Amino acid sequence: MQTILFQMLRRAAVLAALALSFVVTTAQAQVATDRSVAVLLTGVNDEGVHAAATYWTNIAKSISKEATIRVADDASVEAFANKTLVPQEAAAALKVRFVIIGAVTAGDHNFKFDLKMFDGKDGKQVWASIFLSDEDNILIAPTEMGSAAITQLRALTL
């Protein structure tokens, strides 16, 4: 009786592993192969939530000025606002190769943007940087972040 149960459990485990490998392979197949990116920001605190909702589009627009980089459209990215994301799943859903996931902390007229870029193909982090800005320079900060991301995206091997 135990042998039959063991064999059934083993077969179930093999089937589960096969199904999981199919899901992972399918997700990887949906990830873009071009130099494309999505910018996803979340707020760490209440002020950060507002800043994230305000400045992610500015960062994306800054990156989109580079002709060789495709940026996910705003409507698609908005569906992911303030959600915890697995980079590979986000890349597949947004049909991009790279995902910039950032956390924004704001308060006392200061902003901290903690950005990490992941390769949607394998989920590995390929870049990270922290940007600090005060209220007087917050309109310039997205351009600086976008320029830094462009530099990294250009350097990455596809």
Q: Where are the domains of the chain?
A: 1-30, 32-155
Half-sphere exposure of 40 (CA within 13 A, CB side): 28
- Asked whether the predicted pLDDT for residue 25 surpasses 70, the reply is no
The architecture that CATH gives domain 32-155 is 3-Layer(aba) Sandwich (3.40)
Query: Cα 67 from chain centroid?
Result: 20
CA neighbor of 131 nearest in space, from 151, 153, 152, 116: 116
Does residue 13 have a pLDDT over 70?
no
Given this model, what pLDDT does residue 83 score? 75
Indicate the pTM of the whole model.
0.78
User: What are the residues facing 117 on neighbouring strands?
Assistant: 100, 127
Q: 36-43 and 98-107: which strand pairing?
A: parallel
